[in-house]
Amino acid sequence: MCSSDLASTAAPDYFDPERITIAQLPDHPPVYGDFVDGGVTPFNNPALQALMYATLRGYQVNWPAGEDNILVVSIGTGSTDPAVRRSELAAAHAVRSLLSLMGDVAALQEVVLQWMSSSPTARMIDRELGTLATDFLDGKPLLSYLRYNVDFQPACIRDLLGAKADTIAIENLSAMDAPENMDALHQLGIAAGKRDVQDDHFPQRFNLPGVAVNSARRRYMRRPDRPVAAVRIAVDTEGLSYRKWGGEQRAKPGDWLVDNDGDVYTVDAEVFARTYRKTAAGAYLKVTPVWAQQAQSAGSVKTKEGATHYEAGDYLVSNEKDGSDAYAVSAGKFESLYVPDDNG
């Protein structure tokens, strides 16, 4: 383990390569390998490789792509000031050129990931490309992407720390073999985190099941562009039963059969009349608010049709502020259909 750690951090020009014995067989000379930091490869920033591993069929993980399915969070170790050591780079020294290549590769990876993603932290690439906010490789985002990093140029450090920047040897921050920089780098990381990391960068749909989440009930409104298709059960029947949400559900004569973005179920006649308005033939929009909170553990909730079983992280949704007339909706589904309406 020690050798692996040394090899993975052996940045050229800063540390010697780490020699590791690859094979040692009886009556054969040992086979050695000299290993250096993986930053000399195109995967100095491993975010793109991680995305490839999760989604390419050959790796057999088969994670579905899409901005609602994948959130890549990439945290940098600082962007070096191009003005530092420029005279040495211009001296055609091979190792210095390699360090420059590493920076170029890392920058290209950021461009590609922004091109593929929906990203609230997208940086300005240049005045020609902008942030690529309206450019998508496949016409739509393949993932959600967050990138946090600190620019080591003096003006950027001063913007971040203010007067405290005068206490830091900014020109030495890029040195990898200078442990005396640890306190300054820690200050920069804390300041950048407070400035750049926002709660809304992390949609609730990416919360891990079983992890305690914010349980405060909030008010939401249905997105105006997400109507349902619905038809009233106006046939001569005493009602109908069907299995859904982990249990048996029952609809009464006069209730409504609703297709909610492919999720088909029934809605109580009185509730439908009070909460939905017709927008087109067969199309209805929910126009009244709901109150919702995320479940911290699995359970079930009694509904007008029966009961709905839910998992940790699903939303418990109510048509009433007091939590009555409730039902459960998966996190991904709810967040695609509703938006917070705290000022309503």
Which pLDDT belongs to residue 93? 52
Query: Minimal CA–CA distance to 305: which of 264, 247, 260?
Result: 247
Q: Tokens 């609602």 identify what position?
A: 68
- Radius of gyration for the chain, computed over Cα atoms and rounded to the nearest angstrom: 28
Q: 181-205 as b/e, with b when 16 or more CB fall inside 10 Å?
A: beebbebbeebbeeeeeeeeeeebb
**Residue 304: both structure tokens together:** 């007008």
Cα–Cα distance between 291 and 338 in angstroms, integer?
11
Which pLDDT belongs to residue 267? 92
Which pLDDT belongs to residue 259? 93
Which pLDDT belongs to residue 96? 57
What interhelical angle do 182-196 and 154-161 show, nearest 10? 70
Which pLDDT belongs to residue 13? 67
Query: Are the CB atoms for 153 and 165 separated by under 8 Å?
Result: no
Which pLDDT belongs to residue 88? 46
Which pLDDT belongs to residue 85? 53
Separation of CA 4 from chain center: 30
**Residue 168: both structure tokens together:** 């830091």
Which pLDDT belongs to residue 285? 95
pTM above threshold 0.95? no
Query: Are the CB atoms for 131 and 124 separated by under 8 Å?
Result: yes
Q: Tens-digit pLDDT profile for the chain (344 aa)?
A: 788 888 887 777 677 888 888 888 888 888 888 888 776 676 677 888 888 888 877 778 888 888 888 999 999 888 776 665 544 444 345 555 555 666 677 777 777 887 778 888 888 877 877 887 777 777 788 889 999 999 888 899 999 999 888 888 887 887 767 788 888 899 899 999 999 999 889 887 787 654 444 457 899 999 999 999 999 988 887 888 888 887 788 889 899 999 998 889 999 999 999 999 999 999 999 999 999 999 888 888 888 888 888 888 899 999 988 888 888 999 989 999 999 987 76
Supply φ then ψ for residue 140, to 5 degrees: -155, 155
3-state secondary structure of 286: strand
